[in-house]
Amino acid sequence: MNQLPLARGDAPGKIILFGEHAVVYGRPAIAAPVTQVRARADIFPARTCTVEAVDLHQRVDVAHAPADDPFARMVRLVCDALQRPLPPWRIVVTSDIPIAAGLGSGAAISAAIGRAMLTAFGAAMPLAELSALVYEVEKLHHGTPSGIDNTVVVYERPVWFVRGQPPVPFAVARPIHLLIADTGVPSPTKIAVGDVRRAWEQDTARFEALFDGVGDIARQARAAIEAGDIPALGPLMNANQDLLSRMGVSSPELDRLIQAALEAGAAGAKLSGAGRGGNMIALVGDEDAVRVTRALRAAGAVRVLSTSIQPQGML
């Protein structure tokens, strides 16, 4: 007989609509949760504290795990924050968010573990504090996270985000329909972010100008989203993609999907997340979603998700 868990927690995936990479350097960015894909954590009574990641075939003994193990780090951070000893729990993690694909799987897994632990402890924690704990784990995944991934998966709302600041209230006036297509090429955030860092060090003026361009696009996009001017977002996505290409974080696979989406009638398309592989997003109207989905599949997408950001998405 299947044992019922003591507690459960979950968290969504995420997409970055505008501003990836530049957000690491203090420019604003816009991100939204993707609720169709989620990470989950189930807690069962046990003798010791372990985390089992079923999909990754990993089992971590928290008391003896190295300091840089992300699962053990999240468990310890929650215990420290609540001033509790390590509990005798088996924490089972599952996720249908593709890994290293720009959809925030690492942050979502940490957030799911945190949420399940809070329920099992019967404790509450403000979202800002849970987000800060997930941020600590994100630092293990890549050294200089902006904090946007942990913020959007913990708040589960579209966010206007500037590094080091709390997320700002942000109204979505009309629904935004997007397709999310996966190149199937894994791309760890750490590598793309590290490459951009080295390129920025070598040619700081050029990269600062690219980041400024991205920041301006994000500001225009926010104004358009708040005004319900969804058609204006297409050209802004294309302009953001052009700047990302010039940063060196696009890839032939991403370019192929972006071109296919635009040719099939998408209003705009860009990579989403760290780039080099992972996922791209395309802005579509109801009437072209099926045609663009077909074109993305024909161009090699291994998976196409349809999502929409809804007007009640107010933080």
In the list 21, 73, 157, 270, the residue contacting ligand MEV (rule: CB under 6 A) is 21
d(CA 270, CA 255) in angstroms, rounded, equals: 9
- For residue 313, give both structure tokens: 């998405």
CB-CB contact of 258 with 271 (8 Å): yes
Determine if 149 is a binding residue for ligand MEV (CB under 6 A). yes
Number of residues that bind ligand MEV (CB under 6 A): 14
- From 149, 195, 203, 255, active-site residue: 149
Contact positions with ligand MEV (CB under 6 A) in 241-300: 273-274
235 vs 47, 267, 268, 280, CA distance in Å?
56, 7, 6, 15
Determine if 182 is a binding residue for ligand MEV (CB under 6 A). no
Q: Is the CB of 193 or the CB of 304 nearer to ligand MEV?
A: 193
Angle of the 127-141 helix axis to the 148-155 helix axis, nearest 10: 140
21 vs 190, 204, 250, 279, CA distance in Å?
11, 14, 12, 15
Determine if 215 is a binding residue for ligand MEV (CB under 6 A). no
User: Cβ of 80: how many Cβ atoms within 10 Å?
Assistant: 10
State the minimum distance, in angstroms, from the CB of residue 102 to ligand MEV.
Answer: 6
209 vs 161, 213, 217, 309, CA distance in Å?
20, 6, 13, 30
Determine if 148 is a binding residue for ligand MEV (CB under 6 A). yes
Active site residue 149: yes
Closest CA to 20 of 245, 230, 235: 245
Q: Is the CB of 9 or the CB of 19 nearer to ligand MEV?
A: 19
State the minimum distance, in angstroms, from the CB of residue 303 to ligand MEV.
Answer: 18
Determine if 151 is a binding residue for ligand MEV (CB under 6 A). no
Contact positions with ligand MEV (CB under 6 A) in 91-110: 102
Judged by the rule CB under 6 A, the positions of this chain that interact with ligand MEV are 16, 20-21, 23-24, 102, 145-146, 148-149, 189, 193, 273-274
